[in-house]
Amino acid sequence: MTRRERQAAILRLVGERELSTQAQLADALRDEGVEVVQTTVSRDIHELGLTKVRAASGRLVYAAPGATVDAGRIPALRSALREYAIGFVPTGNLLVITTPAGYASPLAEAMDRSGHPLVAGTIAGENTIFVAAREGVTGAALRDDLRTLTLEGAA
């Protein structure tokens, strides 16, 4: 696994789980088959600019730079994705999301407001959204994360 892939995995993991320590992060990576040592995790945390934010549980957890953890915003994004997203096309570090006509802007707004840790920002047209992934995250990894998000809690 390359450094970029490992760091993308780290960004995904801190977006999905409440990880408070380097040891927890290293264990989460190992659970996914990524062999790391503490010094590598420490360096990656520094390079990615991870910060600690207070999660809904009250614990301080790692988050991507500028990310805020708000328990109500991710479910709102999940709902908007389920309702409006028709297709996902990754390219480089971008993800192109298609929607029915007129729904790109509301979905982009939900994504921006969610503070999703893998999303740097969005640009919306009438039925298309360009989503820029954070540094070290590919459009494909972002697509996979958003698809997983839409499936959570589905019956």
3-63, CATH topology level = Arc Repressor Mutant, subunit A (1.10.10)
- The pTM of this model reads 0.56
Do 3-63 and 73-151 fold alike per CATH?
A: no
β-pair partners for 54: 60
When pLDDT is cut at 50, 70 and 90, the band that residue 70 belongs to is low
d(CA 67, CA 75): 16
d(CA 134, CA 121): 8
Q: Helix or strand or coil: residue 61?
A: strand
Domain edges within the chain: 3-63, 73-151
Is the domain spanning 73-151 CATH 3.20.20.70? The answer is: no
When pLDDT is cut at 50, 70 and 90, the band that residue 56 belongs to is low
d(CA 22, CA 59): 15
